[in-house]
Amino acid sequence: MFAKEGLEGVIAARTAISLIRGEDGSLGYRGYAIGDLARNSNFEETTYLLWYGELPKTDELAAFVATLRKSRDLSPGVADLIARWPRSAEPIDLLRTAVSTMASDDPDVADNSEAANRRKGTRIAAAMPTIVAAYRRLAAGLAVVAPDPALSHAANFLFMLRGRRPETIEAEALDLALVLQADHGLNASTFAARVAAGTLADLHAAVTAAVATLKGPLHGGAASEVILTMQAVASPSNADAYVARQLADRRKIAGFGHRIYQHSDPRTPPLREMLWRLAKHKNLERWSALAGAISDAVRKHSRIEPNVDFYTASVYDLLEIDGSTFSSVFACARIAGWVAHVIEQHSDNRLIRPGEEYLGPLARRYVPITQRQ
C-alpha cells in the first residue's frame, strides 16, 4: 500500500518518549505535559527524563549535571578541526562534522548498550554548545571562550557565545527554548537518527545523520529565515501587506505551519510569553510587536499558526545569537531527543527498510555503448 507523500500518517516506530496529539495541540515528554516542564524543569533535568524515563531525584540530577559540566571541553582533534574549518561555512556543517569526529576518540564508540549510549550522549550533548560557540566566535573574528563549570548548560552556552555572563532572564529564555525543542516524536532528524541506529550504527553515526537532516529549511533551517522575514517586514504596519503578497505569490512564510499540529503548536505559548517578557526587559518591545503583527497577519490571511521556530528565532535574536547559528542551537536542544530515540531503537531493533513504488521503465534491452543513439 502506498503511503501519502512525505509518509504522512504512517506510524513508523513504537515509542515511549514523547506523545504528540496534533488534533488537540498537545505534547508530552514521558507523560509530562510540555507546559508543566516549561514552567518547572530545565534542560538538564528534561534530558535526564528523556534518557532515563523518570524525573531524577536530587542526587541523580546532581551527578548528571556534574558529568555534563565535566564533559564540555573539546578534544584536541575537534578543537583543531574547528580552528581549520573555513570561516565562511554554515555553522551546522561544522557541527555535523565535529560530532562525527568525536567518534574517533570516544572509548565507547562501538558499544551500543544503553549505558554506553548514555555516556556517549552525555559527552556529545555537553560538547555541542562548546563546538557551536567556538566556531561562531572564530567566524566573527573573536577569541574562543572556554566553558565555565559554575554555569548551567544554557547560561554557559550564552557565556561561550557572547563572552559575558548572561542575565538570569536571558539564561532562562535559552533554557526554555532548549526544553521545548528537546524532543518531538518522529520528526525528520529523529527519524534519520533511528534509521541509522536501525542498521546498528553507533550513536555518533546516528547523531551525525540527524544533524545533517536538521540542516534543511523545512526543518531546523526555518528559524534563521524567520529573522530574514522580520527584517524584510521591518515595521508592524507593513506586516499585513507583506503577508498578503507572500501568500498571493504562493510563497511559504518561515516559522508558520506544521505537519502535525492542525491548530496550535503547544510549544509556542510559553515562548511567546518569554519573548514579550524579554523584549520588555531589554526595552526592545518593537521586536515583540513586530512578531505579533506578523503572526496576526498570517492568521488573518491564511489561518496558519506560528510554529516553535517563529518564537525561538525571535527570542534568539533578542539573546544576540546570530541567525546563522540558529539551526545549530536547535541541534543542541534536539540532541536530548536523538539520544533517547537511539537508545530506544537499539533496545528493540529491527532494520528500518520501507518498500517503494517503482515508476521507471520496464524490460529494457541493454544496448552496447557503440550502438547508442
CB atoms within 10 A of CB 347: 11
Give the span between the Cα atoms of 165 and 157, in whole angstroms: 10
Shortest Cβ 221–ligand COA spacing (Å): 8
For the chain, where are the alpha helices, taking DSSP H only? 34-40, 43-52, 58-70, 76-84, 91-102, 114-139, 153-162, 168-180, 188-198, 203-214, 222-233, 239-248, 268-281, 285-302, 308-318, 326-347
Query: Cβ closer to ligand COA: 186 or 253?
Result: 253
Query: Cβ closer to ligand COA: 132 or 254?
Result: 254
Give, for 20, the enclosing helix (H) or strand (E): strand 18-21
Q: Side chain identity at 306, as an amino acid letter?
A: P
Shortest Cβ 5–ligand COA spacing (Å): 8
Tell me the residue number closest to ligand COA, measured at CB: 257
Give the span between the Cα atoms of 148 and 143, in whole angstroms: 15
214 close to 189: Cβ distance less than 8 angstroms: yes
Identify the DSSP state of 28: E
Residue with cell 521556530: 309
Phi/psi of residue 235, each to 5°? -140, 145
Shortest Cβ 187–ligand COA spacing (Å): 8
From the centroid of its chain, how far is CA 72?
19
Query: Cβ closer to ligand COA: 165 or 252?
Result: 252
Query: Cβ closer to ligand COA: 133 or 182?
Result: 182
Shortest Cβ 260–ligand COA spacing (Å): 8
Identify the DSSP state of 372: -
Nine-digit cell string for 223:
528559524
Shortest Cβ 100–ligand COA spacing (Å): 25
Shortest Cβ 259–ligand COA spacing (Å): 3
DSSP state letters, 330-355: HHHHHHHHHHHHHHHHHHT-------
Could you give the residue numbers annotated as active site? Answer: 258, 309
Binding residues vs ligand COA (CB under 6 A): 6, 218, 222, 252-259, 302, 304, 307-309
Shortest Cβ 338–ligand COA spacing (Å): 16
Query: Cβ closer to ligand COA: 82 or 297?
Result: 297
Q: At what angle do helices 222-233 and 239-248 cross, to 10 degrees?
A: 120
Query: Cβ closer to ligand COA: 259 or 277?
Result: 259
Query: Cβ closer to ligand COA: 198 or 255?
Result: 255
Torsion sign (Cα): 99, 102, 104, 108: negative
